Structure 1
Amino acid sequence: MTERRLLLWIRVCLVVLMLGLVVSGVTAFPLRAELAIASDLLRGSAIEAALPDAVAWVDRVAAALADAEVRYPFLAYGTDWLAFAHLVIAVVFIGPLVEPVRNIWVIQFGVIACAGTVPLALIAGSIRGIPLGWQLIDMSFGIVGVVPVLIAWRLTRRLERLRQGASPATPAIS
């Protein structure tokens, strides 16, 4: 594969990850409104008949967020910071988007962060009383997110080897 093609595929993988982070971040701001809509849509639907416990959980979370908004509006500040963190992490990936070999550490960080979602969901989810099905959904973000990052990491290593072969006097950057 040529250097140009490797760079293209690395960038595609990183853009997919970055878009996922941005969407996750932006959708965390209006969380209460989103869950209220989801609760309304799910009640009385075929999904409620098939997965009544899941719909009951969405209803419970929507009610809790509505109550917290009225009685403890400052709690939403935590999800605002969560949203902001997703956006900041997406920005960090601009470095490897521009020069993946020099910024491979950011790609490696992405793999570690994705892997960290599994123990966090299991441990914090259990402590906080989150149903296992919801924990699995939370873990899926890291499991799905790691795919483009692992591909980008592998292709970046290949790009690094290709550049070393093309210019042996150039030191390797990891």
Structure 2
Amino acid sequence: MSERRTLRWIRISIGVLMLGLVVSGVTAFPLRLELEFASSVLHDSPVSVWLPDAVGWVDRVADALSDVDARYSFIAYGTDWLAFAHLVIAVVFIGPLIDPVRNIWVIQFGVIACVGVVPLALIAGSIRGIPLGWQLIDISFGVVGAVPAVVAWRLTRRLERMRAQTAAV
């Protein structure tokens, strides 16, 4: 694979990771509306018969968000900061998008953060009474995010070796 093609694939991988972070961030702002919509869609589909416990959980979370929003809307400020953090982390990946070799540490940080999702979901999820199935869904975000991050990391190491060989010649 040529240096140019390797760089293109690194940028595609980082772009996919950034897109996932932006989507995760933006969708964390309107949680109450999203959960109400999800509940409505689930009740109008066969999923309510196939997975009644999952639909019950979505209903419970939607009801809790509505209740909290009606009585203590400031609590949603916490998820606003969660959303903001996703957007800021996406911005940090602009560095490796421009120069992945120089900013490989950002890519490594991304892999570490994705791996960190697993123990956080299992520990905090258990403490907070989140059903195991939902914890596994949360874990999948770390696993899915790790794929483009690991690809970018490996390709960046390859690009670094290519550049070292070119400089040696």
Q: If the TM-score is normalised by the length of the shorter chain, which range does it land in?
A: over 0.9
Name the residue aligned to 1:144.
144
Name the residue aligned to 1:161.
161
Inter-partner Cα distance in structure 1 for 2:6 and 2:123 = 38
Matches within 5 A, 1:30-41: 30-41=30-41
Q: What secondary structure does 2:158 align onto? A: helix
Q: Percent identity?
A: 74
Name the residue aligned to 1:172.
none
1:168: Cα distance to partner?
Answer: 2.5
Paired AA for residue 106 in structure 1: V
Paired AA for residue 142 in structure 2: G
Inter-partner Cα distance in structure 2 for 1:39 and 1:31 = 12
- 1:40-63 per-residue CA deviation (whole Å, 9 max, x = no partner) reads 111142001000000000000000
Paired AA for residue 10 in structure 2: I
Paired AA for residue 99 in structure 1: D
Name the residue aligned to 2:14.
14
Q: How many residues matched? A: 169
Name the residue aligned to 2:135.
135
Paired AA for residue 61 in structure 1: V
Does residue 73 of the first structure (1) align with residue 61 of the second (2)? no
Q: What secondary structure does 1:167 align onto? A: helix
Inter-partner Cα distance in structure 2 for 1:2 and 1:40 = 50
Name the residue aligned to 2:53.
53
Inter-partner Cα distance in structure 2 for 1:32 and 1:17 = 25
Q: What secondary structure does 1:153 align onto? A: helix
Inter-partner Cα distance in structure 2 for 1:132 and 1:32 = 22
Moved over 4 A (4+): none
- 1:70-119 per-residue CA deviation (whole Å, 9 max, x = no partner) reads 11101000000000000000000000000000000000000000000000
Give ranges in structure 1 of 5+ residues lacking alignment: 170-174
Paired AA for residue 90 in structure 2: A
Give ranges in structure 2 of 5+ residues lacking alignment: none
Name the residue aligned to 2:116.
116
Does residue 62 of the first structure (1) align with residue 62 of the second (2)? yes
C-alpha RMSD over aligned residues: 0.9
Q: What secondary structure does 2:19 align onto? A: helix
